[in-house]
Amino acid sequence: MFDRLLEPNSTDVPDCACGKAMRYVKLEKRSEDAAVKHFQCDCGREFLLMVWPELTFSPAAAAA
Ligand SMILES: [Zn+2]
């Protein structure tokens, strides 16, 4: 079920443990190739999901 959530540009949101759909808050870059999607629910819970915007493997980068 997280497959689409893992796409950086996806607008899908996860369901909170309370049963409601969470709100997408922001995408925070953590490093050159990783970012964290922040989701929040009205009940106060937060959900962080690590995503890799540069998921397409680059041979050039690998060789560097
Ligand atoms: Zn909730």
Cα(3) to centroid of ligand 1, in Å? 21
Residue 40 three-state SS? strand
Query: CA 4 to CA 24: how far, in whole Å?
Result: 14
Residue bearing the bigger pLDDT, 4 or 26: 26
- 38-56 pLDDT, tens per residue? 999 999 999 998 887 665 5
Query: CA 1 to CA 14: how far, in whole Å?
Result: 9
pLDDT at 38: 92
Segments making up each domain of the chain, as ranges: 1-57
Decide if pLDDT at 58 tops 80.
no
Helices (H), 11-58: none
Residue with tokens 């689409």: 4
Domain 1-57, CATH among 3.30.420, 2.60.40, 2.40.50, 2.70.50: 2.40.50
Instruction: Let me know: does 62 contact 55? Beta carbons within 8 Å.
Output: no
* CB-proximal residues (5 Å) to ion ligand 1: 16, 18, 20, 41, 43, 45
Query: CA 51 to CA 27: how far, in whole Å?
Result: 9
